[in-house]
Structures are given as structure tokens and as C-alpha cells.
Amino acid sequence: MAAMTIAKLTEMKKNGEKIASLTAYDASFAKLFAAQNIDFMLIGDSLGNTIQGASSTLPVTVDDIAYHTKAVRNGAPDAFVMADMPFMSYATPEQACQEAAKLMRAGANMVKLEGGDWLLDTIRQLVERGVPVCAHLGLLPQSVNVLGGYKVQGKEASAADNTLRQAQALEAAGAQLLVLECIPTSLGKRISEALSIPTIGIGAGPHCDGQILVMHDMFGLNSDYLPKFVKNFLAETGDLAAAVALYVKQVKEGSFPGPEHSFKG
């Protein structure tokens, strides 16, 4: 299978082909995911919760992300790999460029940043310097203390309009992918239809161009609490590889996420 690229992901959106992605943190799972034709993998700062046992993503450092990015790259040499830039690692454009370089050297093809208008100049500078950027709107885990908890975003008409406007501004600044987290299905549809770059949903409904889940969630490993947008694919299959294959199949055919995994509105 030929290596995935940003151009191919964009072509998939144009052709109406859904994009399936998962978080990955080590070589073994990266190899497994690549064998099941996952379109791309994200080294998420969710590793703070899933790997390190922290209560949020805030303690994660750039060095942590770089370490796990290198491990994923070793396990899946040809995969398209995206790396999260963790909390306060991109407070200024200059800092963002310095820290993004570490992640690109570790094996990332793209970095992901959380936020809207305040990031526009940072995104322009990263892209100008050869660093592809995925933006992230909706629920922003790094801003959970400001948001007052893990809540669905963009429910009111004014908030939805503002999220759409910010999405368009992020694309104009040079972002080439956009993750949408915990927003109403109708807003996920509006944004996906308004942008030419692919949208990747996590709790953003079935109309996004692709879907992503935290790997531990889709295997049911955090069974004490599974968010509404998660499905335990391992419970349905009893086998890790089969669970990933089923996830990819259901994303591609559009049966996941269903209404029960989405937020109304």
C-alpha cells in the first residue's frame, strides 16, 4: 500500500471517501494499525491519561510526545503520523516553530494545535517553514480549566457560527486538516461542507470527512468511563486486529458513528 500523504487525504475528501484514524503511542500497536490500513495515526497528548495515568493532558511535555512519535514511526515506517503539540508548547509563533521541529525530527508528518483565532499567525509561520498543521476546534482538552470541564461546544447558534468562522480562518491561514471534538452533529456537517480541507471528528457526528478515537477507548480499556462518542470494538470482535478492521470498515461505510455516538443539534 502506497504511503499516505496530505494530498491523498484531501483527495479522499473530494471523492467522499471516509478517513479512519486512531491514536498510537508505541511500535507494536503502530504496526498493528498499519497492517489494518489505518489512514493516519495521532500521537495524542491523551497519553497523559492513557499511558502516564494523569487526570488531564496538561502534564505532557514535548519530549514525551517526541519519544512516543519515534516509537510509532519505528513500528510503522510508512504511516502518516501526526503529533500533538502539548500544553503551552506553542504560546508564541517562535516557540511553536522550535518545538514543532523536535516533533518533525522525531518522525511526525504533521503537528496538531488546539485553538482558533489566536493561532492564525502561528499556523502561517509553521506552514511557511515547512511544518504541516492540523487545527483543532470544539472541545479543547488543553483548555479544560478555562472551559469549566468536558462539555459539548457550539450548541448555541452564536457559538456555532463562531466555530464555523474560526474553522474557515484556520484553513485560510494554512491548516490542512481540522479535528472537531464534541460538537453537535449539525455543526460538524456545516463545517465539513464549508471547508476544502478534511475534517476529522471525535464526537462531531457522521458527516465529518473522517473519524478518530483514542485507541484505549475503542478497545474498551477505559471501561470505567467511556464517552458517548466511543464504541468498544474489541467487545464485538474479541481480537485486536479484528477490532481495528471493524472500526475501519464501519468508518468507511459510514455506519460509525451512529446517532447514539453523536450529539444532537
What does the DSSP 8-state code read for residue 23?
E
Is 46 a known ligand-binding residue? yes
| Residue 222 near residue 216 (C-beta atoms within 8 A) | yes
Q: Is the peptide bond before 77 cis (omega within 30 degrees of 0)?
A: no
Place of cell 468562522: 165
Furthest-apart CA atoms within the chain: distance in Å: 47
Tell me the β-bridge partners of 135.
178
| Residue 79 near residue 41 (C-beta atoms within 8 A) | yes
d(CA 226, CA 201): 16
d(CA 252, CA 265): 24
The catalytic position among 94, 181, 253, 260 is: 181
Task: Return the C-alpha cell found at 156.
Answer: 448555541
Report the amino acid identity of residue 12: M
Tell me the β-bridge partners of 138.
181
Is 64 a known ligand-binding residue? no
For the chain, list the strands marked E by DSSP.
19-23, 40-43, 81-84, 110-112, 133-138, 177-181, 199-202, 210-213
Place of cell 498493528: 32
Is 26 a known ligand-binding residue? no
Residue 193 bears catalytic tag: no
Is 112 a known ligand-binding residue? yes
Task: Return the C-alpha cell found at 111.
Answer: 503537528
Tell me the β-bridge partners of 211.
20, 201
Sequence ranges of the binding site: 45-46, 84, 112, 114
Sequence ranges of the binding site for 3-methyl-2-oxobutanoate: 45-46, 84, 112
- Point out the residues that are catalytic: 181
Sequence ranges of the binding site for Mg(2+): 45, 84, 114
